[in-house]
Structure 1
């Protein structure tokens, strides 16, 4: 009897030590006097990810306004990556991928992770054309007035421009673009918002067809025909038909009148870009007196050495995303640049309000309004 009681006692202790009492394993955790064991382990909240497709209405560098049917959404995209092949053009279809739950048009509770081209049922933006009278030209803009009296300032950074008969105030040009005009101002309905278009080319002839350059004949002795010569220069600025340049390795500034000579800028009229001046006569190195300018030709970005790209623009940062910054140029237009592969030597941390100089590749930006930046410096 004593032996049986001892066996039962050992069996009870064995179950207690091993924790195999059936009621404890099936009904829940083992009770304890220690409160830290009784407390439930914290659980991470469930994260929801979703996307919304719509049409771009506005983009300001770190905020995107999207339209879907009759609804309008305004997203903070300052932490998002942009993956848009044609940029963020007004009228383009894009997908906004976000974290959180979006029940109404209130976007304050979601975090945008990525803005990308719509990958299903994507509507291609058609190329359009306008014809207008030149009111002004800067490095990054051209202002045209149409026959109907509508005026718009178009972004032309890196855009090919060809003026076969020269460029002058009041001259008529064709402009090809993609995207939609903005709403404009209610104060003057004749002023259109073209800031979020992509201008593809500008020319006084259509279609744009630049003639092949004629080879320069070798100098002939005792000839009365003036020999054509080439002068390589760097663009300093442009204001309407006056182009300011400096000869290579010189601080001398020359003012070229483009109103009566053919001009071709394959990669736009950017500060720092090179242009060749075709002329006859004798250039003294300090003045245009004594020479006749026959033509102005910019370098072709696709043929330029990638390590010697010189097209640049300065401005103040007004917005950013995870892989872009948007600046306001001195001539009053906002421009967005991819920065993830750029060499950055600036000291401002790419914060809003910092002044920067951006060197960009026009060849990589033929069909998009987001430019590829190759170098970032303090302005």
Structure 2
């Protein structure tokens, strides 16, 4: 499946993810994104052996503040006024969508390097209103379509699929245990850019021991605060280059699909199936998966649909969003940073493959197949 013009990710960094209202709460989106952009570019210069010229900065972002955070972050990172910027909103898939947009520009023939990723400051996101009436979120679907909130959608999915409270608790506990082990072993250190005194994701282990005792969020329901990811502040940045540079992750295939807006949590399943078909691969050909865990029930529903065991060691081997946190617009890019660390930084041989994927509010899914090049 190797292609001569597949772009390659040669550097990948992220901030620690801070739970909304905690350590990173005072940092605006550009203050989160610009340090990781600078760190990723420094890493890229070590690969190329020369200063990197950036053609564009493309960042995913969901909740504002508007004003094109991609461009603002590029300026804040000191890239110069001649470097443009763009912002992508595909909700929880925004960070991965930004990476794929940057890859598409390189694949189309513009061989200049690009920075792509995502950023979200849930803590500083503005309050939105219409005619003076505040609202929590914009609609994910128009009138006439089901448009559940994400908590309700996850609860409905758990009931529809018969996903028990015990199974959800076990899935969340596994995510925390893996993340704690990775943190203690230093497996996050090389990808992190500490900010505001925060050196590690602050949600790791926070709810782990409380899981069996937490009350359900809905009467007679199974969802709890512990089986729902923590809303987070954070950013991730990756440097994409034309084929020929190594080591890195080549972007071999990608897919974006739609699904029923009433069941937004299953979108990643359709995207993973589509990207495997596009790449001519089976799940057995994949060595590592990073699927954004918005909720334990939602994550389990995806795994059931693609036929992957929930304790498969290839899946979020260092813990997922249930333990690390979920900075909406950045999470898809965080998944790619995690694959970069698990595969490229860890010394996996050329040809090792990974998948990054996310389900998306409004009923969508996004996925990419990436392959180690050396």
State the TM-score, normalizing by the size of structure 1. 0.22
Which structure is richer in relative contact order (CA contacts within 8 A, separation 6 or more)?
Answer: 2
User: Which structure dedicates a bigger proportion of its chain to helix?
Assistant: 2
State the TM-score, normalizing by the size of structure 2. 0.23
